Amino acid sequence: MAYRTWQCENCGFLYEEEFGLPLEGISPGTRWEDIPDDFVCPTCGFAKSQFSMIEI
Amino acid sequence: MIPTDIAQTIIDPKAYAAQTPVDEAFKFLRREMPLDVAAPEGFDPFWVVTRHRDILEVERQSELFHNGDRSTVLANRTADQKVRAMMGGSPHLVRSLVQMDNPDHGYYRRLTQPYFMPQNIRKLEPRIREIAKSFVDRMAAKGGTCDFARDVAFLYPLHVIMEILGVPEADEPLMLKLTQELFGAGDSDMNREGKIATNEDEGLAAIMATVADFVAYFNKMTEDRRAHPRDDVASVIANGTVNGQPLGHFEAMSYYIIVASAGHDTTSNTTAGALWSLAENLGEFAKLKQNINGLLPSFIEESIRWVTPVKHFMRTATDDAEVAGRKIAKGDWLFLSYPSGNRDEEVFDDPFAFKVDRMPNKQIAFGYGAHVCLGQHLGRLEMRILWEELLPRLEGLELAGEPRRTEAAFVCGPKSLPIRFRMH
Ligand code: HEM
Ligand SMILES: [Zn+2]
């Protein structure tokens, strides 16, 4: 399955599965489904549920 | 309770212009009393939130810590009473996103959020690059000296945001003047009368006159965009709806004002502050020159951290709360110090050093939470494009006089930056 990109609806922060977030302890290639439910947007603190998948 | 001299310093416009006194005051507070009460003379007491993590903690809880219940910027008791008397009891002169809480904040923010998302902003890149190039060419034509703040940094983001908003170029000087009056009310180079107001009435009258000028201007614009919608933000505001209704008149006017003012001064201050740091740290300048494309993202984040042009916003507790072990009571007022958070020794290695390759850099100059800066992607894009056009052509760089900052405790940065340079 191709890597996908998710975006925070409050601030526009992008989570790209291909790159992960190594600084937050999420390794490259981590699928959105595999990110813990208590994940919050690194730039605004919004919850995982406020992200939506987008085409880039 | 925070000692009086420290409390006076962290609200003093002149101390922000000098910067070192403010840096020292917050260094003391982070170490000795990171979350405590200040009560400078004439002000209602307020909590001063100095640590990175406490600022995030407060901003994350936007239902517990409201923007709109009291003034969103620090105001003394007399000024606050006068505003309330004039505004029918409200502590605000305008009602933009900054003064709103949910549910209205969410409704109004969603109106323009899509416009400011990175994927939309990216479409503007070719036009922004033309604008950046023209400023860089103009700088090159100056023949080796200029005031980088006045000649480049203030004018370029102004031109970009005015095109986005839909204000014609001929009106940009008016917009720059009104913004500087709004943010630089305490600085005699910037404010309306060219002097410091000697009492509350004069100061407030000047700000009211500035807001009235903005409103008169944007009233005309609303009529025009209702009749002839275009592809600009003014058309989004003029024709937008919130819950199926057009925006209220006061809210629409406030929306234009926040975009027209917040949309350039901050980026200008950051751009000028960045070049100032390069001129004072030639080692960092050389490092950057050797790997411009590789270092631009970290250089830009470091510039934003370094300057932190927005010096504070206020929040009001809607209920009893606890932060960092301190008991905050319902109705208490909190002063969030972004420059202090961005020098927090627990988060940043060597926080008082300017490093073009700083990594990681979790700067909070754009705030956090529901109100996090709407224009952050635009601000970064503008800076990236300007540096891509300027840095490869810039060879020598040095200060050619004493730089000076605006005297302001809310939005502050360099107002004059004389430099000598070589360009090809
Ligand atoms: C380096 C540049 C900039 C800095 C440092 C900056 C900083 C900030 C800060 C600290 C806030 C308050 C965040 C909070 O309460 O948590 C804010 C809000 C805001 N900024 Fe910026 N800003 C910048 C550029 C821009 C630009 C280019 C625009 C253009 C539209 C803009 C528009 C806004 C608006 C509309 C808000 C209110 C958002 C809300 O309350 O929901 N800013 N900004
Ligand atoms: Zn976010």
| Residue B187, pLDDT above cutoff 80 | no
Residues B191, B206 contacting (CB under 8 angstroms): yes
For residue B118, give how far its alpha carbon lies from the nearest alpha carbon of chain A (Å): 7
Q: How many residues does chain B have?
A: 424
- Residue-level pLDDT at A23: 83
Cis, bond preceding B103 (omega within 30 deg of 0): yes
Residues B307, B368 contacting (CB under 8 angstroms): no
CA-nearest residue of chain A to B376?
A: A11
DSSP B47: E
Q: What does the pLDDT look like over B132-167, one tens digit per residue?
A: 999 999 999 998 999 999 999 999 999 999 999 999
Q: Which residues line ligand 1 (CB under 6 A)?
A: B 59, 97-98, 109, 161, 258-259, 262-263, 266-267, 270, 304, 309-310, 313, 338, 365-369, 371-375, 378-379
Round to whole Å and give the CA distance between B1 and B232: 49
| Residue B371, pLDDT above cutoff 80 | yes
CA of B376 to the centre of ligand 1 (A): 7
What residues in B contact A46, CB-CB < 8 Å?
A: 370
Into which CATH architecture does domain A5-54 fall?
A: Single Sheet (2.20)
Q: Which of B29-33, B80-84, B183-187 has the lowest mean pLDDT?
A: B183-187
φ/ψ (deg, to 5) at B79:
-60, -40
- Residue B3: how many other CB atoms lie within 10 Å: 15
Burial of A19 (0-12, 13-18, 19+ CB in 10 A): middle
Beta carbons within 8 Å of B92's beta carbon, 6+ residues apart: B68, B71, B72, B83, B99
Per residue, what are the HEC states of B294-363?
Answer: HHHHHHHHHHHHHHCCECEEEEEECCCEEECCEEECCCCEEEEEHHHHCCCCCCCCCCCCCCCCCCCCCC
Q: Which ligand is nearest to the CA of A40?
A: 2
| Residue B196, pLDDT above cutoff 70 | no
Residue with tokens 């300048």: B285
Q: Tell me the domains of chain B and their CATH numbers.
A: 4-335+370-406 (1.10.630.10)
Q: What does the pLDDT look like over B314-334, one tens digit per residue?
A: 999 999 999 999 999 999 999
- Residue-level pLDDT at B189: 73
Single pTM value for the model: 0.95
CA of B368 to the centre of ligand 1 (A): 10
Select from B56, B60, B117 the Cβ nearest to the Cβ of A12. B117
| Strand segments (E) across B28-115 | 35-38, 46-49, 65-66
Average pLDDT, chain B: 94
DSSP for B192-217, please give it: TTSS--SSHHHHHHHHHHHHHHHHHH
Ranges of chain A with pLDDT below 50: none
CA of A12 to the centre of ligand 2 (A): 6
For residue B162, give how far its alpha carbon lies from the nearest alpha carbon of chain A (Å): 22
| Ligand 1 atom nearest to B304, measured from its CA | 1
Phi-psi map region of B243: left, alpha, beta (phi>0 left; psi -120 to 50 alpha): left
Task: Please report which confidence band the pLDDT of residue B129 belongs to, taking 50, 70 and 90 as the band edges.
Answer: very high
| Residue B193, pLDDT above cutoff 70 | no
Look at B206 and B268; give whichever has higher pLDDT: B268
What ranges do the domains of chain A cover?
Answer: 5-54
Round to whole Å and give the CA distance between B254 and B109: 13
Residues B72, B105 contacting (CB under 8 angstroms): no
Round to whole Å and give the CA distance between A50 and A10: 8
Task: Please report which confidence band the pLDDT of residue B179 belongs to, taking 50, 70 and 90 as the band edges.
Answer: confident
Residues B415, B405 contacting (CB under 8 angstroms): yes
Q: What does the pLDDT look like over B54-78, one tens digit per residue?
A: 999 999 999 999 999 999 999 999 9
Q: What does the pLDDT look like over B26-59, one tens digit per residue?
A: 999 999 999 999 999 999 999 999 999 999 999 9
CA angle in degrees (0–180, nearest 5) for B4-B8-B12: 175
| Ligand 1 atom nearest to B364, measured from its CA | 10
Round to whole Å and give the CA distance between B146 and B136: 12
